[in-house]
Structure 1
């Protein structure tokens, strides 16, 4: 959950009254927030850097408030105060207005086709005749950073640029150029740099170095400049010093560029709705025109209001209350969702404002009604139906087998469900295409590229990490493996496997075979061909030729056992012979 830090006195001034810490904590709880910490700048520095560094720091009391990750409208003081005031019914929810400038006078942002390779989308708007104070300015900058870390996914999806409109001349152009062709003075720097030099400059910057990877390997870098060639920004890295906003800025040009147009529109809506209250005409935003390479034009911000209808009985049933439609409409209105009863009272019409991008489904509306009603006010009731909880049969079988395999002298291991492609393919003498493995789209490390299709690699790696332990090493694991299956809704299926290994100076095939017989004895599966189990010779890429058997039970193949191939043992950095057994236990449930 994002944490919003606000000055207590400033917050209480905006709310129009003072609270004790306990009262404000209770108010936050009622509104679905959490007062996480009460501290000060001095206390924070003292805690992080020691008392010596905290000398001279401010003693102003700070509230750290945890906000739900999808409530982008509560990430700044302005939105927080507005939400709480509407919740306490002290003010009505403001109506946000998009002002269309006279023809030829509005700002235009021209997007060129070169941007398609890096950041193809852009939106823009103008906050006209805004008045900044030091606190408002700091809140404006802080909100941008909160959005960057949250919905913008650290600028990967959207990057925000804010500029003093009076220092530049439209129309603006959003294009992409080779790094050597880009040269400008970046924010808070005294000289001009090329884009390549900027990358080197910011490689050691504690803040900006985290964003360099987004474009540094691209042949072209995105750039925004005005009609005179003045650079506004190089998204998603840095703005230009020329258009830096200050306390004296009266007109702010906001541009959001990104790879996700939906997120970009949400970010722009949040920024302008939060700070348009400081404009000469409160809650009004000047529209800007964005012209795309195909010639189509779009007017932003959208500031779209939409209506949803929900039945009162649906809300009552989901929450477990019995409120009248008019009361439910009142509860929703307190949550910034203006509502009224329609028809014969069998529907509630809810208007979703542009600040509430988190309202996607009727269940989101029900949740807000429950928050406004108060979770502590919902009466506890005994369910009208009762059930007796029971363990899933597969899990029960797994637990019973674990106990008996441990009693047989084997040690249980729990290995990672993700592994590398090499572990389940190359090291076992297979091609990755034969494994039906589920691949991770964006693996953070080469060790976790795919979901395991066998428990064998995990146990072999466990033995490799413990090979200095006294011999023999006898390990087992009963866990799920994952394989692709086009017949399921998610395209993959889990199977519960049992895998056991015996590692010693001799292969110990008879010990693994004996363990299989013990497992079948416990499962009451007799050793015969008709209705029991049997093994027959087969070949497997991971096993020594002539030392591998397929296990047939209940008329189907459930796995293999045998002596592992020396190449497999060597690839897992082992030096002794090893026997293995791996079967699917689901047919025995």
Structure 2
């Protein structure tokens, strides 16, 4: 899981107080953040763009800027040392991916500012026209949302925060840029209106970020530029590549790969143009709302952009208006076990930067939450914030009303005995996947495919289309993978299989089975029968063996086992065709016993 570093000094500056970094880390832990460590780092300045680069204490050489891609032989200039809080990113909370978002949450939790944050969004006058080609046969990245953020001045600290948030959102929301990617530009270098269109990857060229003075085509970027090489797979099946251009034909970026050198943000930039493109509308909207709201926390002023969509309609983004969800006070008491009343509920939610109003005289409340809280899907999600706002440290632990003692399930207790017997007989246990294919499960065993069998609907993998109804497939595949190992080979598997039953509540139930296999020149009906006899003896059972007929086995060398208990099964020598079907070339003896039905 990615880790971010949040500078304690930056947090205190945004909070307007001087908290000890350790106290801030403790508050973040209580809020549900995964604090990894509090430590000191050295800071270096990139000589090209002026941004600060962090490195562990004692790092001898820090010579590469993560923002502008600049790299030099010697180390950058050291500009100081700072104390940072290292946090594991929570994918469900992108609003806590950077110092701005964390400061916003801490303001409420620490009682500095409570209630819903308000975002005053004005019009920028900037527009983006979407070319239908971005959603066609040659290119498929149809969604775009944009914003403008005015800053008093982008300093090195803000630039680092911006960069960290961009990459964190690429991971947490954009799925490593596949679903959504963010571009940030110096708006003063752009002559509007802007067009979102496509280019020929072999003809159109521009200067990618970090390659000043070197024009490269789209394909050259994918083949030679570090970012292009790393993300080339995202455009591998595109005949044309998506780009943003201004009115002068200047390329702003080639999403989701790289920005242009000419429009890069640097220390001193005052107006930011932000775009988010992608293949998931939800991920694109989430990324933009989160990014812009965090920039506002860092002192920015959000402005809208008009998107002239390919279908002729117009859309104004971002929309940072609060959303609403209704919750039930009684349900909150029941879920959390807390003595909540109307006042304590409202107070706890305001501490979490939410607003709540009671609906008439009922116990229902209308909760307003900021657009950036994309984790709210159900009122239970609000209950989690309610518990945090109440304070986990304020919840008094209680002993359970009655104590219970856990016992092993009967099938598990019995399985442990069988497992120890098999180990004592010299077999090694395997564990295979419970899903396979019709070919492996039926056809290679010379079995007809049943009319009804436990098949996966809309399987995501061709190798997993069937839920197993016997354990033989896993054993035979394991033999195939170990066919070059010294013989004899002896394996067993003890696990559940699925059996269809129209009388069962769900139309199926599970059986606990034991499958045993031997491969080698001595493998025969006699050898596998001796193993079964030993198992029956250890279990205190008497078995009856009767000749049987099974397509997977050699006729005359297969038997059916019945006992006075529910244990029954089949054993024998596998048919040569079955053996060859699995790529084996030695005799194989196999048995499968049904031990018991697994009770739900």
Shorter-chain TM-score category?
Answer: 0.7 to 0.9
Alignment-derived partner of residue 37 in structure 2: 37
Answer yes or no: is the 8 Å Cα contact 1:291–1:298 preserved in 2.
yes
Name which of 66, 74, 91 aligns with 2:88: 66
Deviation readout 1:17-45 (Å, 9 max, x if unpaired): 33445433322222222431222335954
- CA change 1:419–1:40 in 2 (3 A) is farther
CA distance in 2, matches of 1:497, 1:548: 18
Name which of 573, 580, 586 aligns with 1:576: 586
CA distance in 1, matches of 2:129, 2:429: 59
- CA change 1:139–1:329 in 2 (3 A) is same
Report whether the alignment pairs 1:340 with 2:365: no
CA distance in 2, matches of 1:256, 1:247: 22
- CA change 1:68–1:293 in 2 (3 A) is same
CA distance in 2, matches of 1:480, 1:149: 37
- CA change 1:550–1:238 in 2 (3 A) is farther
- CA change 1:230–1:406 in 2 (3 A) is same
Deviates more, 1:560-569 or 1:255-264: 560-569
Deviation readout 1:126-167 (Å, 9 max, x if unpaired): 113553111111111110011111111100100111122222
1:253-332 alignment, distance < 5 Å: 253-277=273-297, 284-332=301-349
Answer yes or no: is the 8 Å Cα contact 1:550–1:559 preserved in 2.
yes
Shift of 1:405: 3.3
Alignment-derived partner of residue 191 in structure 1: 214
TM-score, length-scaled by structure 1: 0.83
Report whether the alignment pairs 1:413 with 2:451: no
CA distance in 2, matches of 1:504, 1:581: 15
Alignment-derived partner of residue 8 in structure 1: 8
Alignment-derived partner of residue 210 in structure 1: 230
Report whether the alignment pairs 1:158 with 2:218: no
Shift of 1:292: 2.8
Deviation readout 1:58-97 (Å, 9 max, x if unpaired): 4322221234321111111111111101111212442013
Name which of 379, 394, 410 aligns with 1:362: 379
Name which of 114, 118, 122 aligns with 1:95: 118
Answer yes or no: is the 8 Å Cα contact 2:170–2:180 preserved in 1.
yes
Deviation readout 1:258-310 (Å, 9 max, x if unpaired): 1110111010001111112456xx6x522222233322332211224222222
Q: Secondary structure at the match of 1:123?
A: strand
CA distance in 1, matches of 2:336, 2:292: 34
CA distance in 2, matches of 1:455, 1:135: 60
Report whether the alignment pairs 1:112 with 2:132: yes
Shift of 1:121: 1.3
Consecutive unaligned residues in structure 2, runs of 5 or more: 43-53, 64-73
Alignment-derived partner of residue 506 in structure 1: 522
Alignment-derived partner of residue 573 in structure 2: 563
CA distance in 2, matches of 1:373, 1:317: 15
Shift of 1:545: 5.7
Deviation readout 1:159-202 (Å, 9 max, x if unpaired): 11112222223332223344224321111212211111111113
CA distance in 2, matches of 1:506, 1:96: 79
Deviates more, 1:566-575 or 1:341-350: 566-575
Q: RMSD over aligned Cα, in angstroms?
A: 4.0
Shift of 1:344: 3.1
- CA change 1:254–1:418 in 2 (3 A) is farther
Alignment-derived partner of residue 145 in structure 1: 167
CA distance in 2, matches of 1:485, 1:226: 65
CA distance in 1, matches of 2:311, 2:501: 41
- CA change 1:11–1:195 in 2 (3 A) is same
Shift of 1:214: 0.9
- CA change 1:247–1:485 in 2 (3 A) is farther
- CA change 1:492–1:113 in 2 (3 A) is farther
Report whether the alignment pairs 1:171 with 2:209: no
Report whether the alignment pairs 1:243 with 2:263: yes
Q: Secondary structure at the match of 2:262?
A: coil
CA distance in 1, matches of 2:460, 2:176: 16
Deviates more, 1:373-382 or 1:352-361: 373-382
TM-score, length-scaled by structure 2: 0.82
Q: Secondary structure at the match of 2:147?
A: strand
Q: Secondary structure at the match of 2:407?
A: coil
CA distance in 2, matches of 1:588, 1:29: 42
Shift of 1:379: 1.8
Q: Secondary structure at the match of 1:83?
A: helix
Deviates more, 1:466-475 or 1:225-234: 466-475
Shift of 1:485: 11
Alignment-derived partner of residue 377 in structure 1: 394
Aligned residues between the structures: 571
